[in-house]
Amino acid sequence: MRTIIFLCFVSVGAFWAVEAGQSFDVHDSPLINAKIDWKENSISLRADWKLNAQNSLESRSIIRSRLRTSLLSKLSEIIESLYARTDIEKRLPNLSSFWASLKLDTFQIAQNSASATLEIPLRGSHSLLSYFPFEPKQESWEAKNETINNTYENQSGDSLYDSFGSEALLYTGLVVDARNLPFVPSLHTQIFTSSGRLIYGPQFLTRTTYIKRGAVGFFTDSRQGEARQRAGNRPLIVPALDLARISQDSVVISDEDAAKILAHEGSVQNLRRARVIILLNADKLREVR
């Protein structure tokens, strides 16, 4: 009997709530859509909140704060997943200063809904990379000359390349084709040889280069303008033989191909400048969360 009375009370309450304009079908919290764009090097997030009769009476600042909190919560999940892809055996660092620096790109309230967007650069000044505790420049190719062939970007022609006899070739960059593999993009991509030697990764770069350019660029075609700008006009293009055993974000190339890119000091210098590209299928360049 008490159960029947209670159900009747709830039904009447729900009826009067609907009559007063308070629908139980509205979202109690913002809906978040997020996307990682590896070609554009950014994380984009959008929050949409359908306001009910109660929270629509809140001040703009409270609604804005609620949207921002929801966006940062989703961003935190994404950052944790990106960090987990690396082989760095460290906990995610304290990013309190990073969170404090983030501001909404857009915020608006229209009729009974509110929305906000947030875009985070993956590399560059004040980017996510600038807050990650990677320790670049731990590895070396034991190269001595740091200034050789620095002018290749402003020149053209075969005179820049030792293309005769058995002399090593100068390559403007390295392009690894991983379109045949289940490669997963990351901020910490590394390249190994088939014999297990690490020949490229953030460990070989200065922190400035790493933050500014990222370890690698991700493209679908090495002939694209931005790809050519990164790897130069005459990169060494090689196939990825396999994924590295440590993770799906690192690749393996043959010892022979590795020897080609390491044979010329100018080519090594270009590796130091992060002139490295991984070719992926188009569906790998964007991740929807």
Give the residue from 192, 207, 193, 189 showing the smallest Cα distance to 277: 189
CB-CB neighbours of 8 under 10 Å = 10
* % of the chain beyond a pLDDT of 70: 76
Query: What is the rounded CA–CA span in Å between residue 170 and residue 152?
Result: 10
pLDDT given for residue 135 in this prediction: 62
pLDDT given for residue 246 in this prediction: 72
Helix then strand then coil, % of the chain, to nearest 5: 35, 20, 45
Q: What are phi and psi of 79, to 5 degrees?
A: -65, -40
Residue-range domain boundaries for the chain: 22-121, 134-142+165-288
Residues 100-127 pLDDT 10s: 889 999 999 988 899 999 999 999 988 9
| Range 22-121: architecture per CATH | 2-Layer Sandwich (3.30)
Confidence band (pLDDT; 50, 70, 90) for 202? very high
Beta-sheet pairing, 174-177 with 236-239: parallel
Both tokens of 106, joined, read 């857009």
Q: Is the pTM of this model over 0.85?
A: no
Query: What is the rounded CA–CA span in Å between residue 49 and residue 207?
Result: 40
Residues 68-87 pLDDT 10s: 999 999 999 999 888 887 76
Query: What is the rounded CA–CA span in Å between residue 267 and residue 171?
Result: 5
CB-CB neighbours of 63 under 10 Å = 19
